[in-house]
Structures are given as C-alpha cells and as structure tokens.
A and B are shown apart, each in its own frame.
Chain A
Amino acid sequence: DVKVTQSSRYLVKRTGEKVFLECVQDMDHENMFWYRQDPGLGLRLIYFSYDVKMKEKGDIPEGYSVSREKKERFSLILESASTNQTSMYLCASSAGPGETDTQYFGPGTRLTVL
C-alpha cells in the first residue's frame, strides 16, 4: 500500500515564525502536492511538484514556498506564519502521467497560528 506520512498531526505556532511541514511518500511517486482545506472552501492547491527540484504554483501560493530535494520528500514552508494560515494542510502523491493518476493523501497537519 502507498504510504504518505506528514511530520506532525497538530502544530501550534506564533505569528511571524517560520514553519516547516514535511511530507514523505514511500512509493517512488513522481508527483507530490500540497493542499490546504478550510471549512466551506474545499481543498485548495498550494504548490505541486512533478520531479525533484521542480515546483509549480497552485491556486494559492502566496505566503508559501516549497522544497523538493529528494524524490520522496516534499516540504511546505511558511516563511512568516500569519493567523490566516491556520488550516488543515494535506500532502498527496501520485505516480505520474498516465491513465490512473490516483492521488494518495497523508493524514493531514492541523496548523494553528496564534
């Protein structure tokens, strides 16, 4: 089974702190994604990566950056956390282009910024 793990289930940070969210997948997937999920807004894509050291902006990249130095690891960085970044953050991975590009999700990190 595909396994996607995220570094923390719950995280509390203060405004202005630099925050790192880590995601690791164990299935040699090409693609990795970061989403945030807020009540009434569904899932929104922040960034995605289809190869090591490659990244593409999603729908809401402002205030975030990402890093993918190794194929299995995709990090989301909040350079200076703000209260409006309080949210559930979900990481996902998929095999890559093809007929069945199913995305597999991690358990999520609930981030609270005070």
Chain B
Amino acid sequence: DAKTTQPPSMDCAEGRAANLPCNHSTISGNEYVYWYRQIHSQGPQYIIHGLKNNETNEMASLIITEDRKSSTLILPHATLRDTAVYYCTLTYYFGNEKLTFGTGTRLTIIP
C-alpha cells in the first residue's frame, strides 16, 4: 500500500501559485515529508523537506498540517519550467532509507 497519495494531475496558470496536495495519514513520528520533482527525461530533483514546521526555500514552501497527516507544496509563482511530475515521499530520521515514489502529480503550467 502506498504511504502517500497525490492527485494524478493538475494544471496551473503561469505566474500563479501552484498548490500540490499530499495525504500521508499513516505517517509516523520520526518520518520526514520530502518532495522531489522530475522533469521529462531527467532524474528526480530534490525540492524541500520538513518534519512538523512549515518550511520555505528558494524553490518552494511546504505546509504540513498540525496532525501531520497531509501536506501542501507551494510553488509561489509558477513558470513553464515548473512543468514536471511532483513526488511526495516519507523518509525516516536516521536515513539509509529507500525512497518510495508513487506515481506523483503531473503538474502542467499553462501559458
């Protein structure tokens, strides 16, 4: 069974904020939420991760609900180059943990 669930596809207008949801209702206390994206024909690229608090970096923001059962990745001003498949995954604190990528959300930025 998948540990995370995401919508299969979303569209977003260029310049608008893209909000990508992820459900992880069985997350355990020592699991981090990680987001990666994969642009066509390339390897996945790390975006951001978090444990409990909301996080922001130069690429995106991550909002994690208080019960940690869901999260939202926010791309504040989407560009055409953000068109990609976005994966939400969980990783244990102590690392050495394989990544389990589901089928992700295919985000299409519309000009």
Residues of A within 8 A of B (CB): 4, 31, 33, 35, 40-43, 45, 48, 50, 58-59, 90, 92, 94-108
A to B contact number (C-beta, < 8 Å): 63
Decide: B95 and A94 in contact? CB cutoff 8 A: yes
Decide: A101 and B96 in contact? CB cutoff 8 A: yes
Encoded as 1 (CB less than 8 Å from any A CB) or 0, chain B from 78 to 99 comes to 0000000001000101111111
Q: How far is the CA of A95 from the CA of B97 in the complex (A)?
A: 12
Task: Offer 25 A-B interface pairs, CB within 8 angstroms, sorted by A.
Answer: A31-B95, A41-B103, A42-B87, A42-B100, A42-B102, A43-B44, A43-B87, A58-B98, A59-B98, A90-B43, A92-B43, A92-B44, A94-B95, A97-B96, A98-B95, A99-B93, A100-B49, A101-B97, A103-B44, A103-B46, A104-B46, A105-B43, A105-B45, A106-B43, A107-B42
Within 8 A of A (CB), among B47-81: 49
Q: Which of the residues A4, A43, A97 comes within 8 Å of B99, measured between beta carbons?
A: A43
In the A-B complex, the 6 residue pairs with the closest CB atoms: A101-B95, A105-B43, A43-B101, A97-B95, A45-B98, A42-B101
Most buried by B among A45, A96, A102, A107: A102
Cβ of B26 < 8 Å from any Cβ of A?
Answer: no
Q: Which of the residues B43, B45, B104 comes within 8 Å of A42, measured between beta carbons?
A: B104
Q: How far is the CA of A63 from the CA of B34 in the complex (A)?
A: 30
Q: How far is the CA of A45 from the CA of B41 in the complex (A)?
A: 19
Q: Which of the residues A31, A90, A102 comes within 8 Å of B34, measured between beta carbons?
A: A102
